[in-house]
Structure 1
Amino acid sequence: MNLPNKLTVLRIIMVPFFIAAYMEKWFFVAFALFIVASLTDMLDGKIARARNLVTNFGKIMDPLADKILVYSALCLFVENGTIPGWTLIIILAREFVVSGMRTVAASEGIVIAAAMSGKIKTVLQMVAVIILIIAVGPVPQLKTIGMLVFWASLVMTVYSGTEYVLKNKSVFSM
């Protein structure tokens, strides 16, 4: 297994530790784990492209690892009332639609690349989570900023999902 794929696996392994730290209210530990995990996302992609180490495993597991990390945090935020549950439903619905379309396209040998709006959505979600982890814990003054970034990520979620469906509507006729 190459280095980028090891970083992806590491990100997945870090998730239960992040969850445990957050649930124990060890917010600085949860914050640090989330930051490190998020940085492995950036790093694994850069290394894979720079060293020509892009693999099918990485293509599938890298975005899945991101989703496991971010959506675990969002579930924790729903549980403690930081974000409304319906927002997570919208986020998950978008992911299921996009994943379903990608699966159908792949079954026909078509690869649908991620759009820039989807990448912006992911970055906004990660930034919102980072700010909200600290806002729920030791620095509640950051909650307003964290929620503004979260709402921006929700808008990008809807926008990127709509863009994805419209650009790839031919998948529905396969």
Structure 2
Amino acid sequence: MAAKKVAARRPLKDELVNLPNLITYLRILVIPVFLWFVWRGDPFSSFVAAVLFTFAAISDMVDGWLARRMNLVSVVGKLMDPLADKLIVTAALVMLAQMGRIEAWLVIVILSRELIVSGLRQIAIGEGLVIAAGQGGKWKTALQLTGIIGVLVHYTYPIDLLVVSAYPFDFQLIGEWILVVSLAPSILSALRYFADFLAAVAQKERASQAGARRDAA
């Protein structure tokens, strides 16, 4: 049987400056500017903050797509991409809570879930376990990003919904409710990940015991 070829890893310098990772760095660098606009709090600044956050969310999809398309998936990217996401989401939630736009308990629940799942994921990686992300996690992310954008816009604007008159769209209220709704897939996906983690650990233990018995036979 022919030996399977293992792709050589690119030099660290090349990984650091490839296009997908440069986009990730840009997402991190925009955080102070984003927070400045959030802090100002007037309608124009709130709208700009929402646009910057939306740019960060879209660029997250773009750099991942480019990395796969250009065969530039790297160790640096695997580390920096989720870090950049968590940094800007955490910054947004903490700033919005400090400004009184969202309740502190909501931020605590959201961030606690992320820390717990991230910790489990690191343990799984250390044990050589592969646990696929579930659909619930994707729903959680979509709802949280949408909710944060709504709270960032904050103000009420008339939106033409193809009716006789424009409807007053309260972005703050709608954003808050979307964040509350996001707790359901957030908590359920965390429980599912924990269950999958325990199942993977048990399967690995059974495989290890079976191997030990074969060696002893």
The reply to whether TM is greater than 0.5 is yes
Q: Indicate which of 141, 145, 170 corresponds to 2:174.
A: 145
**Counterparts of 2:82 and 2:135 in 1: how far apart (Å)?**
14
Question: Judging changes above 3 Å, is the alpha-carbon distance between structure 1 residues 69 and 165 closer, same or farther for their aligned structure 2 residues?
Answer: same
Q: Indicate which of 145, 163, 167 corresponds to 2:192.
A: 163
Is it true that 1:77 corresponds to 2:96 in the alignment? yes
Amino acid in the other structure paired with 1:152: V
Contact kept, 8 Å, 1:8 with 1:41, in 2: the verdict is yes
Kindly report which structure 2 residues correspond to 1:9-158, keeping only aligned pairs within 5 A, or say none.
9-25=25-41, 26-135=45-154, 137=155, 139=157, 141-158=170-187
Question: Judging changes above 3 Å, is the alpha-carbon distance between structure 1 residues 119 and 102 closer, same or farther for their aligned structure 2 residues?
Answer: same
Amino acid in the other structure paired with 2:61: M
What SS does the corresponding residue of 2:78 show, helix, strand or coil? helix
Contact kept, 8 Å, 2:156 with 2:171, in 1: the verdict is no
**Counterparts of 1:30 and 1:97 in 2: how far apart (Å)?**
28
Deviation at 1:138, TM superposition (A): 6.0
Aligned length in residues: 173
Question: Judging changes above 3 Å, is the alpha-carbon distance between structure 1 residues 44 and 149 closer, same or farther for their aligned structure 2 residues?
Answer: same
Deviation at 1:121, TM superposition (A): 1.0
What SS does the corresponding residue of 1:168 show, helix, strand or coil? helix
**Counterparts of 1:154 and 1:76 in 2: how far apart (Å)?**
19
TM-score, normalised relative to structure 2: 0.73
Q: What's the CA shift string for 1:29-83, capped at 9, x where partnerless? A: 2122112111111111111112221111211221121111112111122112222
Contact kept, 8 Å, 1:91 with 1:154, in 2: the verdict is yes
- Structure 1 residue aligned with 2:161: none
**Counterparts of 1:133 and 1:118 in 2: how far apart (Å)?**
22
Amino acid in the other structure paired with 1:156: P
Report 1 or 2 for greater relative contact order, CA contacts < 8 Å, sequence distance ≥ 6: 1
Contact kept, 8 Å, 1:104 with 1:171, in 2: the verdict is no
Deviation at 1:172, TM superposition (A): 6.8
Larger radius of gyration: 2
Identity of aligned residues (%): 40
**Counterparts of 1:105 and 1:79 in 2: how far apart (Å)?**
34
